[in-house]
Amino acid sequence: MIHFKSKEEIEIIAESAQILGKAHAEVAKAVEPGISTLALDKIAETFIRDHGGVPSFKDYNGFPASLCISMNEHVVHGIPGVYELKEGDIASIDCGVYYKGFHSDSAYTYAVGQVEASVEQLLDTTKASLYKGIEKMVVGNRIGDIGAAIQAYVEEAGFSVVRELVGHGIGKNLHESPEVPNYGKKGRGTLIKEGLVIAIEPMVNLGKKSVVQARDGWTIYTADRQPSAHYEHTVALVDGEAKILTTFEYIEQVLKAKNGKATIH
């Protein structure tokens, strides 16, 4: 069953999302060749706890960290560890914040230094596809309209959409109904209406769509070992319109200050 949220509840999720956006930005500052993924995790956890939140992912079903950091061919759910970022990598960094009883969830994929042109295109396309999905979050549309829009945009660009992992409702629980696939058919699925809060999170592969789970029980990677990107926003339907509660604004301020390369869609 879907828990539709009141305006007051959505306001709390928005507060949670502000902490999350700023935690992401602290991590963004440190995304450079040579830093370990565990060090990035520590930055996020410290920031979230210092601002009155709790990292949503830590201990979620036994997950050991505050961030999921998924490098290169890793799609999602990578566990931070001793790996050190290097020039040419991409790092998908996913984070959630639990604050005043509500979760927010968002993800961003970083290029570490210069990446191949095809990989840069993968990042741009994946981020743009997220907004194509959000555009379909309109009263009277259905969840399938979101996935269909993401899938069409991604496949038009020559990339593929992961099927096994999907977006989700979010609120008092990190993962709630409904599921929000990044593929599908227009006009199918749950009706979108006031108070719906969902995490929309396209996972897009440079190569083929198939994925595999690693032996660590968490990390999902592409079967063809080609890179994969992931962007995510928590979005609410409030006052008849889609409101993006999470934000990339703070991240992109950091990226612009670093290299002037951030693109905003």
Interface positions with Mg ion (CB under 5 A): 94, 105, 107, 199, 232
Residue placing its CB nearer to Mg ion in the complex, 94 or 145? 94
Of 105 and 176, the one with the shorter C-beta distance to Mg ion is 105
Closest contact distance (angstroms) between CB of 150 and Mg ion is: 14
**Shortest spacing between CB 114 and Mg ion, in angstroms:** 27
Residue type, 213: Q
Name which of 199 and 211 has its Cβ closer to Mg ion: 199
Cβ of residue 13: shortest distance to Mg ion, in angstroms? 13
Q: Considering the complex, what minimum distance in angstroms separates the CB of residue 87 from Mg ion?
A: 26
Query: Could you write out the DSSP letters of every residue in 200-250?
Result: E--EEESS-S-EEE-TTSS-EEETT---EEE-BEEEEEETTEEEE-S-SHH
Name the residue nearer to Mg ion (CB basis): 142 or 175.
175
What's the one-letter identity of residue 189? Answer: G
- 3-state SS assignment for residue 221: strand
Distances (CA, A) of 25 to 112, 130, 174, 204: 15, 19, 21, 23
Q: What size, in residues, is the chain? A: 265
Q: Which is nearer to Mg ion, 34 or 246 (CB)?
A: 246
> Could you tell me the smallest distance in angstroms from the CB atom of residue 206 to Mg ion?
20
Provide, rounded to whole angstroms, the least separation between the CB of residue 145 and Mg ion: 19
3-state class (DSSP) for residue 230: strand
Long-range contacts of 239-244 (CB under 8 A, 24+ apart): 239/194, 240/139, 240/194, 242/134, 242/135, 242/137, 242/138, 243/10, 243/14, 244/134
Distance in angstroms (rounded) separating the CA atoms of residues 169 and 209: 23
CB of 172 or CB of 258, closer to Mg ion:
172
Secondary structure class of 53 (helix, strand, coil): coil
Smallest separation (angstroms) from Mg ion to the CB of 2:
16
Q: Which is nearer to Mg ion, 63 or 84 (CB)?
A: 63
How many whole angstroms separate alpha carbon 66 and alpha carbon 54? 9
- For the bound state, the minimum distance from the C-beta of residue 64 to Mg ion, rounded and expressed in Å, comes to 16
Instruction: Please identify, using beta-carbon distances, which residue of 45 and 105 lies nearer to Mg ion.
Output: 105
Residue 133 contacts by C-beta under 8 Å, 6 or more apart in sequence? Answer: 146, 147, 149, 150, 182, 200, 202
DSSP state of 80: P
